[in-house]
Amino acid sequence: MPGSMRQRGESWELKVYLGRDAVTARKRWAYRTFHGGKRDAQRALTAMVAEVDRGGLARTSATVGELLEEWFAHAAPSFSPKCVRETRGVLDRNLLPFLGTVPLSKLGAADLDRFYRRLREKGGRAGRPLSPATIRRTHGIIHRALNQGVRWGWLAQNPASAASPPRVPTPDIHPPSPVELAKLFAVAGGTDPDLADFILLAAATGARRSELVALRWSDVDLEAGRLTISRAIVAGPDGLVAKDTKTHAARNVSLDATCVAALVAHRARASERAFLCGVELGLSAYVFSAAVDCTTPWYPDSASRSFARLCRRTGVDGVRLHDLRHYVATRLLSAGVDVRTVAGRLGHRNAATTLNVYSHFLVEADRDAADVLGRIFDDAVVKGEAEART
């Protein structure tokens, strides 16, 4: 790769050809100023040429923002609707305002670390700090975009690979107690029976919020006491979108008698409301809907907000709607239900996921196992002593 140098006063201008710009196809050159003698300048030029040969310099004059936009247009078609909306939000809120105009050739790991520190200090709304989890997600997005830039030839290496985003502490799991759950159900039953049934179903199945709002009456077999979870409802860029489950697989979940009775009453209320308005409920009607004919589902965020208001009203602190899923997992594991069964009910792809998340809740089950083994051994000792005496 050609290089040249010329003296400018007491310094030397080093110039190396970089090839055609990966974006504009124009010829590009790298320039550096060197202070020193001619022989040292020649050595610096040789090192600069070697650096270019190794691919150590950016191959385009494009900015970080241009790469992010090009990457998003390329990657978004393979994202879920929810991922498209959330990724677009991270680009618009966090990345483009701070890094959008930075040339790719100038972006280094230290720049990214300063950027992460700024987000941690005052990167949120009204200057509030962002959480480590949000910063880590921001890092993941720019890392993927820069990786694509390397594959496209826009830059030689990914500076995000050497950056140090903050660690995300493992969140503590605080599921509600049975008493708290019963209190929430009782209060909701007096003011919002539909929400009460939603809570009961969430606490009985361990299903995700998106899966519960996607349930249609055609998915529910009240006679067999079973429902099929085969889809989810998420908020996309242009409204609600139906998609497959997180693991891309359907599952059947058995229901207890209390849950079946609640759903029977829930169906009767929905049918009565529809009848009074002169419409009927079809099999495709949603189980949880604000529409009289139940043709549209609840918004997932609306369900969470309703649950949060209920918790505030009843004085149940620190409980989220998602914690009902944790309630199901921890109660079943503590009761000695095998992990594979619990994983199937939660919709985990395999039991290892369940163990990773809930391993510290297996203490009670392990204590029960120790007691069982102790009783077996004690019985064997007693039996052995009796046989010895005879």
**Cβ pair 65, 99 in contact under 8 A:** yes
Does the pLDDT of residue 1 top 60, yes or no? no
pLDDT confidence bin for 368, thresholds 50/70/90: low
Average pLDDT over residues 97-121: 92
Residues 200 and 249 in one domain: yes
In a domain, 234, yes or no: yes
Does the pLDDT of residue 25 top 70, yes or no? no
> Maximum CA pair distance of the chain?
112
In a domain, 340, yes or no: no
Label residue 103 left, alpha or beta by phi (over 0 means left) and psi (-120 to 50 means alpha): beta
Residues 106 and 200 in one domain: no
Residues 313 and 188 in one domain: yes
The residue range of the domain holding 18 is 3-53
Q: What pLDDT shows up at residue 369?
A: 64
Contacts of 349 (CB under 8 A, 6+ apart): 247, 249
Q: What is the distance between the alpha carbons of residues 123 and 340, in angstroms, rounded to a whole number? A: 42
Q: What is the distance between the alpha carbons of residues 263 and 242, in angstroms, rounded to a whole number? A: 23
Average pLDDT over residues 357-385: 70
Tokens of 157: 């290496």
Q: What pLDDT shows up at residue 55?
A: 56
In 3D space, the residue among 111, 113, 98 whose CA is nearest the CA of residue 164 turns out to be 113
Domain boundary among 282, 317, 352: 317
Dump pLDDT digits (tens) for 162-220: 999 999 887 778 889 999 999 999 999 999 999 999 999 999 999 999 999 999 999 99
pLDDT confidence bin for 47, thresholds 50/70/90: confident
Residues 43 and 80 in one domain: no
Strands 226-229 and 251-254, by their bridges, are: antiparallel
In a domain, 364, yes or no: no
**Cβ pair 118, 98 in contact under 8 A:** yes
Residues 75 and 200 in one domain: no
Residues 202 and 313 in one domain: yes
Q: What pLDDT shows up at residue 38?
A: 87
pLDDT confidence bin for 296, thresholds 50/70/90: very high
Residues 86 and 45 in one domain: no
93, burial (CB in 10 Å: exposed 0-12, middle 13-18, buried 19+): middle
Residues 313 and 206 in one domain: yes
Q: How many domains does the chain have?
A: 3
**Cβ pair 141, 90 in contact under 8 A:** yes
pLDDT confidence bin for 42, thresholds 50/70/90: confident
Residues 82 and 35 in one domain: no
Q: What pLDDT shows up at residue 192?
A: 94
CATH number where 93 lies: 1.10.150.130
Q: What pLDDT shows up at residue 152?
A: 85
Helix axes 323-334, 339-346, angle to 10 degrees: 160
Residues 306 and 201 in one domain: yes
Average pLDDT over residues 290-295: 94
Residues 300 and 259 in one domain: yes
In a domain, 86, yes or no: yes
Dump pLDDT digits (tens) for 225-283: 999 999 999 988 888 989 988 888 899 999 999 999 999 999 999 999 999 999 988 88
Instruction: Report the chain's mean pLDDT, rounded to a whole number.
Output: 87
The β-bridge partners of 146 are: none
pLDDT confidence bin for 21, thresholds 50/70/90: low
pLDDT confidence bin for 9, thresholds 50/70/90: confident
Average pLDDT over residues 282-289: 92
Residues 155 and 202 in one domain: no
Q: What is the distance between the alpha carbons of residues 37 and 42, in angstroms, rounded to a whole number? A: 9
